[in-house]
Structure 1
């Protein structure tokens, strides 16, 4: 009867074992499988306390192996420990152990802690995996002499389990680009471009599929394609696999621009992004030139000159190096003071090693002109060693004026003379100045002691009584002279004074000149 109860418990699936004896063989058509657990030690032989002494019991079935060990013998009121081991041969769920405390024993403790209900100890495990060994220790104390019969029962539900490896792709993205570039403010296309490197890596433990990199072109930059969003289909990335891409953008203006790249994958709504910011610098140089708008040219030992000031400024947002300043002197001018610059023919040059942002530097020169006229003096600045060469020009016009200087000479050819004798008044009008004079008008007046005979010169003359008027000379150039002659006859004795007036567009108050001639009475013979 005892063996049948155990067999029914095994085949019924409720109480799967009562560890009183060691089982082997096959029950109910089921084959007892070889346990995957470590081989346990064989039970030690019982102490000579009677035929019922059984300190070791093993239950070995297809689903699990269970073993219980107790001491061979114990003393009254002496604590002793029972050890239960349970090793699944397959995955199990709803596993439960119960141990009913014998009437002749007192429960002290258990490890792991059991759930005590009356005199029954219970341990529950929702799930146990194949090969996952469980050990339970129970400490009791015997109350009286005799035999203690202690049974532990187990029940469990076998499970057929599969294992699916679940991995997760994790994409990591980083982006690198230049911190600073420069462009020419006049022509941005001629400046530097920004090349960004995008790196994407799968740092997860599963393959990433349909990986797409999207690059957002910021305002202020353009791509050769003209698109504002650049898409790159990567495909699949295995764990630890990486890929990279390069994107080149051209800035259109100055400022700070951040280029953002995003990466996405299938079956994951997360978006990873990285950015790289670039400061676009615009070097700019300015030049101004101030000077004297009008000056007179050299004359009679006076040496007036025209001063000029050239100012070079860094108007951009980056330092300029090896700045070359040149001033080109116009033909007809010559250099009086080069302001510390190097002179080569009609060119003055200065070199500025470094011109920081906001700084300015001035150069002063002085020029003279040899001929009247308007002369344009040009200056240019250029930063040669800059990554984006820049230049600027400035000019200033000076009107160099001459000034006419009219000189009048008057003399007579015969002095003194007798009445009825003739004399010639020779007059010369010269421009000793540095500019032409216009509309030169000459008027001569004979005294009462003289009468007009004739007049000649480069222009026509008309006599009206004692007054002789020549037509106006349209232009009298510097250094040019005109000569006129007036023939007159003495008519009465006296101190005769021939008067001459010269005026022009520049001579508001006429020049007056006189020539004295003594007219004598003719003696009688």
Structure 2
């Protein structure tokens, strides 16, 4: 009869069964270096272990029979196998074996079982690359596309690597008759197993007639290094055996391997982007709100998003020039828009720097500029820097807008100083007698445009007088200008020479009267008179406000310290005619403000009876 018996070795991820091949969560673990202690058995003579490499049938029909329905009896050495198998006999048992390198004595026989071990002669083999498709990890119901998998310490992927060892062939054999057996090495798990090693130890009462494939012999143990066994793959080891004695014989096979577990990770990338926009141009004082668009273009949530906005000096937010805001989390593909209210307070290009950061070192920056346009006012005052008393002075006030925005509601005001009196103003200028101000309404002045107004004044007081001109407009636009005008009085010295007698007879007297006057508005100082008496006359007497000296025919008077405006002084010089002829009396005056002396002559006719 042909019988079939099966023994299966299942290797679990737990360490309780003592298998060397196991599955690891993240990568294959190296095989255990511990070896079970197995009982030693006598080694057959070398001649009995010679294994022929030819003549072994490749697929005997006897190995493909179905499994028998009855339990085969065990074979006893004292009972010849000349009868059919008795169904009441015990199942086949085999004796536990010891690694051939151990020196211990054999122990009592035990029921056949697959014992995982790693013989010392087998060197660790690096696992071969996985050839099967990785196990796909499906997202849990709470996961959404673009979101990271929930952080959990639970099982992500569980795989139980296992190999089944299965003997096929006749369990009841005849003494001395060669019999073919097949040892099936089946991978019963869905993943590949690496570094599969199968060992078979036969009792000394059995000789081997042929083995395919050829094993490696290590101290009486046949060893096959099968390498990688793919899922559901069945590798067959064919052995031809001949028994030398009757009885129950234990043929033991065991397997070691390295299992693996494949985990598929769903890697998603969060991202962060920011875009700032603002009006291209705003008028100073108007709102300059900045719009921020913060987005997550990635496929996973970006957490702990924070915003920092730094405004230029010409912009002011509700919290000053620096604003911070917590954004929170942005889902994959989510976009948020934030308004930063700002007010422009200075002209020119004003920048706003935006910085956004998120969890994991994500950051994004952007910069936006706002052109803040503003009107400006410049003043120019044109007028005399010096005026004499009672003289008119015309002032031109020129206001210009050099800015890049119109200046509206422009007013120009000139505060007339006390040294001047208002006469008139053009362009509708109004004079306020109480404050002395002249005010014009200009209206709008476009960028680069200028407008002029004029005022006519009269100098009435001497001294340094300051004109204060102010131009103002909407949105606080203002400019000021000052101009000083010096007002002086003008001295006007005049001299008149007359005589009491003309013509005059020889021997008679005539008096010359010299009148010096100041018809100007300023007192004259150091007024000095010098008179020259003609040769036809001689001095008789002098009537003057100051002393004098007579030097030859000249009379030199001491200078007058001051001659006030509208004032005059009279000098009288009496002379006696001594010879007939045309006599010329000469008078010359000089003063501090005069560059050259003023000279007058009086002609007198002298006759003789």
TM-score range, shorter chain: 0.5 to 0.7
Given the two structures, how large is their TM-score scaled by the length of structure 1?
A: 0.52
* Match of residue 470, structure 2, among 363, 380, 389: 380
- Flag the 1:515–1:370 CA change in 2: closer, same or farther, 3 A: farther
Q: How does 1:250-329 map to 2 (within 5 A)?
A: 254-266=347-359, 269=362, 277-294=369-386, 298=390, 305-329=392-416
Q: How does 1:119-518 map to 2 (within 5 A)?
A: 163-167=140-144, 168=146, 180=281, 196=290, 209-217=303-311, 231-236=324-329, 254-266=347-359, 269=362, 277-294=369-386, 298=390, 305-340=392-427, 341-345=429-433, 346-370=436-460, 374-383=464-473, 385-386=474-475, 389-400=476-487, 403-413=490-500, 424-489=511-576, 497-504=584-591, 505-506=593-594, 508=596, 510-514=598-602, 516=604
Contact 1:412 1:517 in 2 (8 A): no
What do the CA deviations read for 1:395-432 (whole angstroms, capped 9, x no partner)? 44445565443222233456777776655433210022
What do the CA deviations read for 1:301-326 (whole angstroms, capped 9, x no partner)? xxx64333221111112111101111
Shift of 1:248: 6.9
Specify the structure having the higher radius of gyration (Cα): 2
Contact 2:394 2:455 in 1 (8 A): yes
Contact 2:503 2:604 in 1 (8 A): no
- Flag the 1:220–1:320 CA change in 2: closer, same or farther, 3 A: closer
Contact 2:506 2:606 in 1 (8 A): no
What do the CA deviations read for 1:274-319 (whole angstroms, capped 9, x no partner)? 7664222343211112234455555xxxxx6433322111111211
* Counterpart position of 1:3: none
- Flag the 1:217–1:496 CA change in 2: closer, same or farther, 3 A: closer
**Counterpart-to-counterpart distance in 1, 2:440 and 2:487:** 26
Given the two structures, how large is their TM-score scaled by the length of structure 2?
A: 0.46
What do the CA deviations read for 1:65-86 (whole angstroms, capped 9, x no partner)? xxxxxxxxxxxxxxxxxxxxxx
**Counterpart-to-counterpart distance in 2, 1:440 and 1:331:** 32
Contact 1:497 1:515 in 2 (8 A): yes
Between the two proteins, the alignment pairs up a number of residues equal to 346
Contact 1:339 1:363 in 2 (8 A): yes
**Counterpart-to-counterpart distance in 1, 2:303 and 2:137:** 32
Structure 1 residue matching 2:596: 3-state secondary structure: coil
Contact 1:416 1:520 in 2 (8 A): no
Contact 1:337 1:367 in 2 (8 A): yes
Contact 1:497 1:517 in 2 (8 A): no
Question: Which stretches in structure 2 are left out of the alignment for 5+ residues?
Answer: 1-135, 148-269
Question: Which stretches in structure 1 are left out of the alignment for 5+ residues?
Answer: 1-158, 184-190, 299-303
> Whose relative contact order is higher, 1 or 2, with alpha carbons under 8 Å and at least 6 apart?
2
- Flag the 1:515–1:479 CA change in 2: closer, same or farther, 3 A: farther
Structure 2 residue matching 1:334: 3-state secondary structure: strand
Cα RMSD, aligned residues only: 4.7
